Amino acid sequence: MEVCRTVGALRAFVAERKALGHSVGLVPTMGALHQGHMSLVAAARSQNDDVIATIFVNPTQFGQQSDLDNYPRTEAADCAKLEAAGVAAVFIPNVEEMYPAGAETIVETTGLANMLHGLVRPGHFRGVCTVVTKLFNIAGADNAYFGEKDYQQLQVIRRMARDLFVPTRVHGVPTVREADGLAMSSRNVRLAPEDRKAAVVLSQSLAKAEEVAAQGGTVEAIDAVIRATINAEPRARLVGVDIVEALTLAPIAGIPQSDIGIMISAEFGPEDNTVLLIDQREIAK
Ligand code: AMP
């Protein structure tokens, strides 16, 4: 596996592979890789000749400096996993490489980014869109893979790619979970053992939501069962519950008339070292 640390090195690698007639799949990550990331790699491997993974903890998508500082960084272990999974090249730029002095251009979806999670994390999706656009332009991949776990992020990236005529095709990959149902996340390692146990309440609340929806329940009833379940766990601080029309993320009420997306977020741990976890479920009509 080739390790590229500069834009030029990755471009040269991709050009070499494309000259051989290979298709290229891109898997952007922030590292601290787990089986969720590896399922994106597996999807990319199954649909492309060569897979490029990227590891970059993107400062512009973090709100709190402490969250950025505390983000786990495990480069050697990550590279071993990627190599074992058959990745052809990994791109590991530093911040100056991605944001050279004088960089001032941002990419922003003006509607989708400024609702739901975007309201509690101002600027987050602008940071995501800006860095993903840079990665798309550097890699020139045929396909790119993103997790459904980050539900709003996936919709934002799809919209950005469509609006800007990005030639790379965007694919969503289902969420990979721990045995107890907790969605895998690089942030899970920061949970104290009691919080790790308590965090299962997120997926449990979604399972209850699914039951209510299956019985013909309203959006308000689904919302209520999620809130009651999470609020019953004293270690969880509920941040948001959003029940929306699946594709547009538009708010809905009453009995759902279309596929719905449910996005939830909760915080765990002490105020000065909070771990924000998210989960999601799409329920077909
Ligand atoms: P991150 O490193 O957290 O920025 O995630 C990189 C990519 O992996 C994003 O597209 C995420 O949606 C995806 N991802 C993270 N966790 C999971 C998971 N448990 N299952 C599937 N994909 C995931």
Q: Look at the alpha carbons of 25, 134, 66, 204 in this order and tell me if their dihedral is positive or negative.
A: negative
| Cα–Cα distance measured from residue 149 to residue 264, given in angstroms and rounded to the nearest whole number | 11
- Mean pLDDT, contiguous 10-residue spans, the chain (285 residues): 98 98 98 97 98 98 91 95 98 98 97 82 95 98 96 94 98 96 93 98 98 96 98 97 90 94 95 92 91
The CA distance from 1 to 3, in Å, is 6
The residue whose C-alpha atom lies closest to atom 18 belonging to ligand 1 is 36
3-state secondary structure (DSSP) of residue 53? strand
Can you give the pLDDT at residue 214? Answer: 95
- pLDDT value of position 66: 87
Instruction: Please give the single-letter amino acid code of residue 30.
Output: M
**Which position among 22, 34, 37, 117 bears the catalytic label?**
37
Q: Which domains, ranges and CATH numbers included, belong to the chain?
A: 2-173 (3.40.50.620), 186-280 (3.30.1300.10)
User: For 39-77, what is each residue's pLDDT tens digit?
Assistant: 999 999 999 999 999 999 999 999 989 889 988 899 999
Torsion, Cα 231 235 239 245, to 10 degrees, reads -60
Tell me, using a 6 A CB cutoff, whether residue 39 lines ligand 1.
yes
Q: Is 280 in the pocket of ligand 1 (CB under 6 A)?
A: no
- Distance (Å) from CA 150 to ligand 1 centroid: 7
117 catalytic? Reply is no
Is 134 touching ligand 1 by the criterion CB < 6 Å? no
pLDDT of residue 45: 98
Ligand 1 pocket test: pick from 150, 155, 275, 276 the residue with the most ligand atoms within 8 Å of its Cβ: 150
42 lines ligand 1 (CB under 6 A): no
Q: What is the pLDDT of residue 121?
A: 85
CB contact set of 218 (below 8 Å; sequence gap of 6+):
253, 254, 255
Q: Please report the pLDDT score of residue 247 as a whole number.
A: 79
Q: Best substitution site from 40, 157, 178 to test ligand 1's pocket, by max atoms within 8 Å of Cβ?
A: 40
Whether residue 175 has its Cβ less than 6 Å from ligand 1:
yes
The pLDDT score that the predictor gives to residue 114 is 84
Q: Residue 116 contacts by C-beta under 8 Å, 6 or more apart in sequence?
A: 152, 240, 242, 244, 249, 263
